[in-house]
Structures are given as structure tokens and as C-alpha cells.
């Protein structure tokens, strides 16, 4: 379990899901290890990035919903 998972920003959560290895959900120990390592190395809490990301979001002409629409489908991902 990740007790602080809800405190991470939107980009961190999307990145966590996008970069996951295929079928990692079938191995709970490996999944937990992946999540912990990802959040430790690449995780950004919402309150840490508020000042910088708020200005980036306001100046960006592209809506945030495009991030979901451009995600790579599972069948096109390659294994690492």
C-alpha cells in the first residue's frame, strides 16, 4: 500500500500507469516494488509542483484531457 499515493500530482499518476511493464498486475510483489521505486524516483507531490505547474498549465493551449487520449494502447507497448 502507498498511504501517500493520493498526494502525488496528476502527471506522476499518469506516468506510473503509462510506464508500467505489461502484465505486472499479475505479480503483486513486483507491482508493489515497481510502484514504490517509481514514486521514489519520479514522484512529485501536488504541493511541491504547485508553483511551477500552475503557470505551465495556465499558459498551455492544449487541454489536459489530451494526455489520456494520446496514451499508447497496451497492444502497442513493448516489453523492457
Q: Please, what sign has the CA dihedral across residues 33, 13, 50, 46? A: negative
Q: Give the helix/strand (H/E) hosting 29.
A: helix 28-42
Per-residue pLDDT reduced to its tens digit, 27-41: 999 999 998 899 888
Q: Give the helix/strand (H/E) hosting 59.
A: helix 50-59
The verdict on pTM exceeding 0.85 is no
Q: What is the pLDDT of residue 7?
A: 85
The verdict on residue 74 lying in a domain is no
Domain count within the chain: 1
Write the DSSP symbol of residue 21. Answer: P
Q: What is the mean pLDDT of residues 45-62?
A: 55
Residue span of the structural domain in which 33 resides: 5-68
If one compares 4 and 42, the residue with the highest pLDDT of the two is: 42
The verdict on residue 78 lying in a domain is no
Q: Please, what sign has the CA dihedral across residues 56, 58, 60, 66? A: positive
The verdict on residue 75 lying in a domain is no
pLDDT band for position 60 (cuts 50, 70, 90): very low
Amino acid at each position: 500500500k502507498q498511504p501517500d499515493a493520493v498526494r502525488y500530482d496528476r502527471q506522476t499518476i499518469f506516468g506510473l500507469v503509462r510506464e508500467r511493464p505489461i502484465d505486472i498486475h499479475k505479480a503483486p510483489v513486483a507491482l508493489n516494488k515497481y510502484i514504490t521505486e517509481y514514486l521514489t524516483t519520479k514522484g512529485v507531490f501536488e504541493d511541491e509542483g504547485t508553483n511551477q505547474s500552475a503557470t505551465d498549465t495556465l499558459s498551455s493551449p492544449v487541454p489536459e484531457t489530451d494526455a489520456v487520449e494520446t496514451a499508447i494502447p497496451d497492444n502497442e507497448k513493448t516489453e523492457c
